[in-house]
Amino acid sequence: MSDPESSLASINESLSFQYDKKSLLGKGASSTVHKGTFKEEAVAVKRMKEELSDEYKDLLKNIKHENIVLVLCIESYQGSDYIVLELCLASFYQYFKEFEKVTNKFDGLTVVKKDVNQDAVRGLEYLHEQSIVHRDIKPGNILLVQKSSSSEVKAVLADFGLSTKLDDDQFSKTTVDGRGTKAYIPPELLVEDGSKLKFSPQSDIFSMGCVIYFAETDGHHPFDTGDSRGAAIHQNVKDYNPCDFRLLDGKPIASALINKMIQHNRASRPSASEVLQDPYFKEDDPQDTVHVPPQVTEGEEAPQVDTPQDTSEVQDEASILPPEQSVSADGEGHVSIPSPEQSVTDTSYGEQLYAVMSDMSHSLPGYIVDQYIRLLAIINVKCDMKPDWLLSKKFLELYSTHVSNTSPQVAASYVYKILTGLGYEEMDDFSAYLHTEVEIDTKINEELEKITEFRPAVIKVIRGELGPRLGDYQIDRYRMVLTVLCITTFDSNKSFFELFTDLTGNLGKYPLAVSLTIGVLERSGWGDTKKLKPFLLPNFDLNTSYPKIDLCLTVADYYGNMSQRDFSSAKVYTSSLHLNSHNVSNMSRVQFTLLLMERSVIEAGNVSKIEDKVRYPIFFKEYEKRCKGPTKVTAPATNETVVPSLPIQEMKAQATSSQSPSTPTDQPNIFTRVKNFFLPSSKQQAQEVPGTTTQAKEPTPESSNTAPAPTVTSAAKEGTLPAPAPPIAATVPASTPPTAPIVSPPISPTATVPAPVPLPELFPEKGEKEYETKLPEEHVKGIIKDFRVLLMTATEVELRGVLGYLKPLDGRDRIIKSFINGTWIYVGMYGGYSVVVGKSADSKGQQGGLDALIITNKIMEIYKPRYIIAVGICFGMDHSKVNLGDVIVSNFIVDFFNFRKQPESITARKPQPPAGRTLLRFFGETSKFEIKHSDQENPKEVEVHCGPIASTPALVDDPKFKEELREVRPDTLGGEMEGAAILHAASEAHHKVEAIVIKAVGDLADGKKDECRGWKDFASHAAATFVHDKLNIAAPDALK
């Protein structure tokens, strides 16, 4: 290999300019920019990665104007083209959005906002006079330059990679890729038909209007209505949905000009010359002038005359632009890296490196941090880490330990080698901080060769493990989200992996794509995302990061919880009101949601146009409440920002001060207590206090339910868990004409209120009913082989509630009771359906998931039900949400048996499929019903809720333990012992079967179960009544 230093020397000798590869100013997909010299003047040298066309070279050479960046020369060497440009101070983006980062470059200089805006328009006027359109006007392509021998600053246009000559008709045909930067593309170019894309001078005017707004508001966009991401602004431009211009209050002249420049109809926009004649540029405003006084060190006097600023660390048109804020002409954002001090022992260099590490640490996924920790351990670089530390703190602490053992240069070199070796994509310009070669330990290099890089590791999970297991429901919703995000329609035949590839192409960052994917899947009832979790961004929150995606998922859920009949009615009604009776009859729930978004019937934070205030008030209240403020908790970046005057150790202490580990408590936490419940009694007794005995069952098999894996910090503490489906109202007719209902008052957790007593004939004691018991086994199997419904109970009390409504099959005198496959089953009519009834526990000692799983599987070996309904009793989790006697319809089960304890979370170990969609729609449409069996009986009004139910093999009667369960999953309404196992049995069945848990509150798990004895009977009766009434009024084929 040739010596790079000698190679650089030969380049410098062959060209009329010199540049230093180590002084990187910026880098993009098509070029790199270094500091150099030309005729003894400091310049910026742009080395192109691809050969420039002659047309582009001619354009650069021929445009000469004081408000166009000065091109000093264009030369070629060994197949590479070099453009030498004047050095600039900063871009509009840096100056107006990130001034604190470039303040030092403006020492002693004066910037007048209106003047630099006027300069930019003058540069544009010149281009248009030359019949040239820029096609990529944005804050990053307008640069600030110090005027010669003056303290004043002017603006120049830069980056002409998309610029082109106009045709005779004053238009320039363009392509989708040639429209410019996403957030600054005018609306006339946001059309689906690429053949109609025509760029005009007025297209540049629209972009320049957005830039002037950006400057006047210090970094905001006129189409930013709350979501500042480029894709959201892009959609607002397409929909022509500008903000309310509140940020320009007090600036009516500026507001008027910008409004004219960003008119939807390009013919209504002024020309550049007309813009320059606007009163805006004739009005003086002292607030528009910013003078940065020169930096004066102790013992010096401020200079009395203006002096040119040293431009040794400025950049050219490759401006500092975060990737989500700007995309360059060639599709990649430029990133500028300031050159640090050359001496690796200089304290300021160490501080600078720590600042870079601190900033980077907040975006490092767990996969990267874990491998960094593991690899440094190979060379004995270790530090004590607390389990509850954030990833950023772990990374910074280990980096600081490495610095203390070696030097900032060595530690940073290892970071660069490890992260680039792992394929981390945000490290391209980090090498600019490293000025000397550091030899990396061979053991690190050898181990890196064995580790799968970041992107291939993600692809392996997406393509090989997650994609093949997802259902059509999850993939349809994922496709919907991509349609909203990418503003394009995706082929319905595309696989999940192909859709993910499209997403990464749109976002440009794999960690962000992974984070978004996890959020969408977990909002779509898929809980098994743990293998993707190591690759997501820390602190990512779907709701606050992507409000429009939150909106589309929320509305899709709203329609998804409707029956087909109700959904059809809702479509027709909404279409007649808001869509001019557009034909929506064949649209699916996803398609209809997308149409409502496209027509702006629904918008982020506002779903009032489709809200049903009578039947569905809570559903959208939860959404609007979520939209009122961010729930995301971000790392305390302010405490990790380097103050240059602080020593490195003080900065370390400051950076970690707000991340101290939790205060320990003497009380055993939830995980210890749950673990005790799961241990066999012999092992548990060994851990108990001597003299005490505790019985506990063996753990049940690993089960599945629908809850996304909750985390203590991001979920329970931040409140970002999926909201429970609300009570949905529909009146169930009473069997007889109703009298005035007596509504039961809310039952206090401490009150001993007598429970309503079920009628004896509807809550029979054991042995009161007569059964047909002598039928042969094969005969019974023949009778039930086509039955679709299985009702599962656990205890005798639960069975009594169901048997109260069970009637003989048509043509029979008695209910069938048969002992088959080692378990008793009951066969009869329940409402309008032929059903089988099972009971999993013969005694209190058999309550729990293991027996429920075994018995459910045994019954499914006898026949193949399509629907399993677990009916019975639960405890109430939160008295402010549910009362004694209330019925809870589970939209999913929170499984506290099959969990994994991690430093900051409790997560399910297996997928958690949702409650059956058909069953949830069938049973989820009521908020209350009346229990009334005769004209003489006062009706009992019972509330019905729809939400999560916790399932644990522990018999909970401890308010502290219940509170700990509730803290992990605060939206949980109740708890019981068998639901997770029944859902697991359904998910593992060899035929298609849905399951749901419907139970009523029999106690409040507050240590007073005995005082609620009567409420258990009523709760069993209430749940059984609710299920019976629903099955009784339904059409015989409603549950097919």
Query: Residue positions in the annotated binding site for ATP?
Result: 46
Distance from first CA to last CA of the chain, Å, rounded?
73
Give the helix/strand (H/E) hosting 505: helix 496-507
State which amino acid sits at residue 564. Q
> Does residue 45 contact residue 33 with C-beta atoms inside 8 Å?
yes
DSSP letters spanning 355-388: HHHHHHHTT--HHHHHHHHHHHHHTT------TT
**How many whole angstroms separate alpha carbon 572 and alpha carbon 87?**
62
Q: What DSSP element (H or E) covers 46?
A: strand 41-48
Task: State how far the Cα of 588 lies from the Cα of 563, in Å rounded to an integer.
Answer: 12
Nearest to 670 by CA among 958, 975, 1009, 983: 958
Which string of DSSP letters, residue by residue, matches 272-294? Answer: HHHHHTSGGGG---GGGEEE-PP
Contacts of 701 (CB under 8 A, 6+ apart): 849, 850, 853, 981, 984
**Cβ contact 840:799 at 8 Å:** no
Q: Closest Cα to residue 881, out of 958, 808, 957, 974?
A: 974
Q: Which of 527, 594, 644 is nearest to 907 (CA)?
A: 527
Query: Quick one: 550 exposed, middle or buried, by C-beta within 10 A (0-12, 13-18, 19+)?
Result: buried
Q: Long-range contact list for 839-845, CB < 8 A, 24+ apart? A: 839/792, 839/793, 839/794, 839/795, 839/796, 839/798, 839/799, 840/792, 840/793, 840/794, 840/978, 841/794, 841/795, 844/795, 845/695, 845/697
Q: What does the CA dihedral 579, 583, 585, 587 come to, rounded to 10 degrees?
A: -70
Task: State the Cα angle at 459 between 454 and 462, rounded to 5°.
Answer: 130
Residues within the annotated binding site? 46
Q: Which amino acid would we find at residue 2?
A: S
Nearest to 447 by CA among 425, 427, 420, 418: 418
884 CB contacts (<8 Å, ≥6 apart)?
747, 753, 755, 876, 1001, 1002, 1003, 1004, 1012, 1015, 1018, 1019
Measured CA to CA in angstroms, residue 689 lies from 607, 698, 795 at distances of: 56, 20, 31
Tell me how far apart the alpha carbons of residues 770 and 532 are, in angstroms, rounded to a whole number.
56
Instruction: Read off the tokens for 173.
Output: 């045909």
Q: Which amino acid is at 237?
A: V
Would residue 319 be called left, alpha or beta, if left means φ above 0 and alpha means ψ between -120 and 50 degrees? beta
Eight-class DSSP state of 462: I
**CA-based max dimension of the chain:** 113
How far apart CA 1001 and CA 117 sit, in angstroms, is: 67
Helix (H, G, I), strand (E, B) or coil at 545: helix
In whole angstroms, what is the distance from residue 443 CA to residue 731 CA? Answer: 71
Phi/psi for 383 (5° steps) reads -150, 160
Instruction: For Cα atoms 154, 160, 165, give the angle at the middle one, nearest 5 degrees.
Output: 115
Residues 1012 and 876: their CA atoms lie apart, in Å, by 12
What's the residue count for the chain? 1040
